[in-house]
Structure 1
């Protein structure tokens, strides 16, 4: 389907529901820390004009000066050649593949010192075309550090090979957990904590980094989970540096993101602000609560677009019909409705009607405190 058609389709489905990212060597630089980027397909639309420990409310400031020409070797202590990369990935064995997306394929890799990392390898046939995306991700990841954001460890840019090396996050993607791929289902407490973690990561990008960063591809398959079920936002290939001055927008010639999560105002006007991430987060929050993907093509027309279906149910007093049936526990009605209401505010079709991510994080924190007072709904 061409871009105008996709824009029309997404807007027509969603809008009626509401009112109102060195030197030329083979070396990659890694720091001595470990813990992956799991890639998943994104869409580029060419435009024609125990329980989980508590999450801190405070988001730490940016750790260092932001430069658009980062020198990654200032943080490095381990150097890899392409031969070493091939050995670490067993020559990019399919058995070590973690995921695949528009940029390329992500592999689990074990270094000689025993450190496990994730290596994202750009598609060789699209190497030149993906250079901008590669540079964008490197430049941005090199300058951010937050526990809810995947950490850059190194990179390789040699000939037709472009590799991004990040910490390995062992527990797969949020979408996999919502699908039950890893066995047990996420309970409500875990979903709430994951939502708060994502909000903290985005708040850091929007408000605490020295240069504002807009992710542009917030979705469940770009949220990685640690072995303690902490969430980390991954895949910064579409990210853009924003403007810390309130009200500023970027006019872009291409709309990038994933259908179902794309801000309808961004698609219509090609103007990008942090509120585009807020919209995507709203859609993601509904996904977390219901377990449904943003677009469920096999369902009936009235249930095909999850945000529209959920909004209708909520307005008809059927909010509890939206609870993911995989959650066997009793979910407190007031808590669930507060989260749904917040998700709809975030996914308002007009950016002026959406809260900023800092406010979203604060409200989720308040919901969490109320939830704990209720004894986790028991």
Structure 2
């Protein structure tokens, strides 16, 4: 009824596969009509889409272990290992650098600082803000440590991330430095703002913007607030796309987040999205010097990990694009990337959703808490079409994040027109 297609009889789900050539980003259909040639190529590419997700959940055997990480202390399964170094390859991922910041250079007002991450707090200021780390102000717990809600002397509400003292090893120290370095370079409406840090004696503390309305995952689970409308989910997807585009394109040196997931996306009271937790962030390869990727041990979260990165240890901005594709599926289905308690064919959410999409039943994967309307049916088809491109097994065939944002803008425009 909504976006129904002729069934594809030869769809199969092998353990390993290779995609046929992927349509270019310019072939996306963003109007209410359908693009026959674009859709046929997408169908062809999707016929064996499941294999990519099998690889995604099989981490490399060497030097890889689970690590808990979260934006405000929530626990999740993340792959983490040490020893990062730069490298080059024989292929090139093009990147277009820009100097005009536009919407990606939006600066947040702050009464406490002039530059992001520039303040070196004293322990006395931290004790004042958290009332000596009062248990009543504890808002989260995770692999990095404990997170407290605090208030600076000028009234600014903050989240104070205090590392566990027993975990001051090379890994935690590296994550602390990575987060400080990354946060000190960025400022954008859809990124959690960093106010400063403290590194004194045994204390490792990061002070960031306090975002009061919980994580996207909590909202999808209805732990926080009412059911997120389809329109709100589309707005959130666009906010996240803008944030990642800024990191990849408009910073002084491109930054790869490496842990894009729903529990790392905070929502304001007006449901604006802010990407958080830069503990795994890395500077991207220096294209001007001829590098095309960063060679590094794998870090990230099960379910969102780029299989090509898992296989080759070669990190590029396209690894964030892959994670974003998984996030898009999560937004429209409401399901987590891995649903261990479901029947086998539905356990890997993206594989299940893409199979339904290519069979012509995209509307059937819509979060059951949402209405199966014509507008929702047409929009979900286009979102899944974009998600399919983002999770392509080869990074060279994935769109850049700026293109993702453009496609989502057009989807939202068409969606609003159908509602009017």
TM-score normalised by L of structure 2? 0.73
TM-fit CA distance, 1:225: 0.6
| Equivalence map 1:85-234=2 (5 Å) | 85-129=126-170, 130-234=172-276
CA distance in 2 between partners of 1:76 and 1:106 (Å): 17
Q: Say whether 1:358 aligns with 2:392.
A: no
Cα contact 2:133–2:148 (8 A) shared by 1: yes
Distance of aligned partners of 1:242 and 1:79 in 2 relative to their CA distance in 1, 3 Å threshold: closer
- In structure 2, the residue corresponding to 1:133 is in which secondary structure? helix
CA distance in 2 between partners of 1:48 and 1:76 (Å): 25
The residue number in structure 2 matching 1:337 is 381
Moved more, 239-248 or 211-220: 239-248
5+ residue gaps, structure 1, are 1-10, 21-35, 50-56, 64-71
TM-fit CA distance, 1:44: 2.6
Q: What is the root-mean-square deviation in Å for CA atoms of aligned residues? A: 2.9
Aligned with residue 44 of structure 1, among 79, 82, 105: 79
TM-fit CA distance, 1:314: 1.0
Q: Say whether 1:367 aligns with 2:411.
A: yes
- In structure 1, the residue corresponding to 2:384 is in which secondary structure? helix
TM-fit CA distance, 1:45: 4.1
Distance of aligned partners of 1:76 and 1:259 in 2 relative to their CA distance in 1, 3 Å threshold: closer
TM-fit CA distance, 1:205: 0.4
CA distance in 1 between partners of 2:310 and 2:118 (Å): 43
Q: CA offsets per residue over residues 136-179 of structure 1, 9 Å max, x none? A: 11111111111011111010000111000011111110000001
CA distance in 2 between partners of 1:270 and 1:303 (Å): 28
| Equivalence map 1:273-292=2 (5 Å) | 273-292=316-335
CA distance in 1 between partners of 2:118 and 2:321 (Å): 37
Cα contact 2:116–2:184 (8 A) shared by 1: no
Moved more, 78-87 or 195-204: 78-87
Cα contact 2:118–2:195 (8 A) shared by 1: no
Distance of aligned partners of 1:141 and 1:76 in 2 relative to their CA distance in 1, 3 Å threshold: closer
Q: CA offsets per residue over residues 80-131 of structure 1, 9 Å max, x none? A: 4324423422332343232233222221112333321001111110123311
TM-fit CA distance, 1:336: 1.3
CA distance in 2 between partners of 1:143 and 1:239 (Å): 12
CA distance in 2 between partners of 1:353 and 1:144 (Å): 28
TM-fit CA distance, 1:255: 0.3
TM-fit CA distance, 1:272: 0.2
Aligned with residue 242 of structure 1, among 273, 279, 284: 284
Number of corresponding residues: 335
TM-fit CA distance, 1:194: 0.3
- In structure 2, the residue corresponding to 1:118 is in which secondary structure? strand
TM-fit CA distance, 1:328: 3.8
CA distance in 1 between partners of 2:238 and 2:148 (Å): 28
TM-fit CA distance, 1:243: 2.7
- In structure 2, the residue corresponding to 1:60 is in which secondary structure? helix
5+ residue gaps, structure 2, are 1-13, 19-47, 53-69, 85-100, 108-112
